[in-house]
Structure 1
Amino acid sequence: MQPAESTPPWVALVPLKPLGAAKSRLDHPARRSLALAMALDTAAAVLDAGSDAVGALIVVTDDRAARDALTGLARARGLAERLLVTADEPRGGLNPAFAHAAALARVLYPGWGTAALSADLPALRPQQVRRALAAAPVAGHGVLADAAGTGTVLLSAAAGTDLHPRFGPGSFAAHRDSGAVDLTLLLTDQVPGLRRDVDTVADLAVARALGLGPATSSVLAAAPSPRSAA
């Protein structure tokens, strides 16, 4: 009897705006530092999900400080070989950035599926990444709504499938209309940190109640704000 072939891992794709422009709706004095810290906590959770679930992480950003910090994070964990930080971010927003990362993934990791994630998931946990990717369809696309139910925090494209990102206002409905399988009801409350992206101080307070990652916690401890601590 031949052993079953193992399922290829996923390539996670995460875009990050230049830190000076990131999180413009987050009314906090440490907004720039928080944007980087949330990206670091997101990347750490993705990388720590295990190489059988996430074989590689591609971060698309043209911010040098972010590139250096992310590279340092991966090296500290001994996972540098699984992280690619590219500075070749196309101008035009999230969708060109995701498309750029997906094109790289097709070349570097043929036969692997791709999973586009938000960069602002400070309460994300590795097991939530594993759970969501295990639920992603093996053909076509899967989509997971944010906590509000209108945005997208995860878009998966199975091996051999183009990503076709439609991020932006109403992105969850746009991805569903394009044929993506809705993973939201299936996962419901199993992945609260994955569904809690942070755009405002109210979002940050909810993420804090879920349990923030170490980088975001450190920034808030160094620069407390009553607005963020509510």
Structure 2
Amino acid sequence: MPTTETAPSWVVLVPLKPLTVAKSRLDRPDRGALALAMALDTAGAVLDVGGGVVRLVVVTDDHRARRALTELAQSRSAVLAGAAVVGQSGRLLVAADEPGRGLNPALAHGAALARRIHPGCAVAAVSADLPALRPAELRQALAAAPPSGRGVLADAVGTGTVLLSAAPGSPLCPSFGPGSFQAHLDSGAVDLTARLADTVPGLRRDVDTVADLTAARALGLGPATARALAADPSPRSAA
């Protein structure tokens, strides 16, 4: 009897630095508040993708971020506790950065945790600074990910990585940092950029600088980032 392939269930990973050191290239006095706001908008968009995403794992040791993410979780369902987990609510889980050795170890830790909780899932690492991300864009990118191995999507500049996917049974092998897009290609990830191109502008628009923030603003910001800018409307962020 023929079998029909079904789409995998996804766990999405979002790493978040301590807010005191986040977004060092964003020339604004409120960059910590903006880093948190962008992470909340990213998390909200991921949670709104739908049933294909069974869990969002945010890896962070920042206490302020934990509280804000827990509030986001509470707006959806009750919070539970778990070993090595700061807060868990339905499809949102905030995990401590147990390695404490930077972005890539944090993502490797998150991927291992995801697969302990959801054996057989696919995993996707997504940047935390996507304030213009739309759920439909992430849904489209996950659908485009290869059914085996890994996939990578470049940022708007074309040198960084905004999404790295790993099919069920495939290791994530994150190599985020300067030149990460080419590093992921060199390690065998399939390029999703040409296929998705400009159909996912919010997903590809990460924010490191004031110019990036202006570009994201033109696409339409999420509610948390819009509120943060309204609270401190620095002229350097003007479009």
Partner of 1:151 in structure 2? 160
The match for 2:24 is 24
Q: Deviations over 1:131-179 (max 9, x none)?
A: 0000000100000000000000000000000100010111000100111
Shift of the alpha carbon at 1:2?
A: 7.7
- Secondary structure of 2:151's aligned partner: strand
- TM-score, with structure 1 as normaliser: 0.96
1:218: how far off? 0.2
The question of whether the paired residues in 2 share the 8 Å contact of 1:112 and 1:159 is answered with yes
Contact 1:123 1:194 in 2 (8 A): yes
Structure 2 distance, partners of 1:185, 1:58, is 28
Partner of 2:58: 59
The one-letter amino acid of 2:135's match is P
Deviations, residues 60-119 of structure 1 (Å, cap 9, x unaligned): 000111011112112213482111101234222110010000110111111001000100
- Structure 2 counterparts to residues 74-113 of structure 1, below 5 A: 74-78=73-77, 80-113=89-122
SS at match of 2:163: strand
Per the alignment, residue 120 of structure 1 pairs with 129
> How far 1:3 moved relative to its partner?
7.8
TM-score w.r.t. the length of structure 2 is: 0.92
The equivalent residue for 1:173 is 182
Aligned to 1:68: 67
Matched, 1:161 2:175: no
Count of aligned positions: 229
- Verify the 8 A CA contact 1:13 1:115 in the aligned structure 2: yes
RMSD: 1.4
How far the C-alpha of 1:229 sits from its partner, in A, is: 1.4
Please tell me the residue identity of whatever aligns with 1:178.
S
What code does the residue aligned with 2:221 have? Answer: L
The 5-angstrom pairing of residues 39-54 of structure 1 reads 39-52=39-52, 54=53
CA contact (8 A) 1:39 1:120 kept: yes
For residue 85 of structure 2, what is the aligned residue in structure 1? none
Q: Is the 8 A contact 2:42 2:130 kept in 1?
A: yes
**Mapped partners of 1:51, 1:144: distance in 2:** 22
The corresponding residue for 2:206 is 197
Deviations, residues 180-207 of structure 1 (Å, cap 9, x unaligned): 1100000001100000000000000000
* 1:133 and 2:142 aligned: yes
Q: Which whole-Å CA distance do the structure 1 matches of 2:54 and 2:73 have between them? A: 13
Say which SS state the counterpart of residue 134 (structure 1) adopts. Answer: helix
**Amino acid corresponding to residue 100 of structure 1 in structure 2:** H
Q: Which residue is equivalent to 1:37?
A: 37
Work out whether residues 150 and 170 of structure 1, in 8 Å CA contact, stay in contact via their aligned partners in 2: yes
Cα distance in 1 between the residues matched to 2:232 and 2:138:
29
Identity score, percent: 71
Q: How far is the alpha carbon of 1:5 from its aligned partner?
A: 5.7
Query: For the Cα contact (< 8 Å) 2:76–2:90, is it kept in 1?
Result: no
| Superposition deviation, residue 51 in structure 1 | 2.0
Asked if the contact 1:61–1:89 (Cα under 8 Å) also holds between the matched residues in 2, the reply is no
Inter-partner Cα distance in structure 2 for 1:88 and 1:94: 9
Structure 2 equivalent of residue 226 of structure 1: 235
SS in structure 2 of the partner of residue 186 of structure 1:
helix
SS at match of 2:199: coil
Where in structure 2 are there 5+ consecutive unaligned residues? 79-88
| Contact 1:26–1:199 (8 Å) recurs in 2 | yes
User: Which one is further off, 180-189 or 88-97?
Assistant: 88-97
SS in 2 for 1:114: strand
**One-letter amino acid of the counterpart of residue 84, structure 1:** L
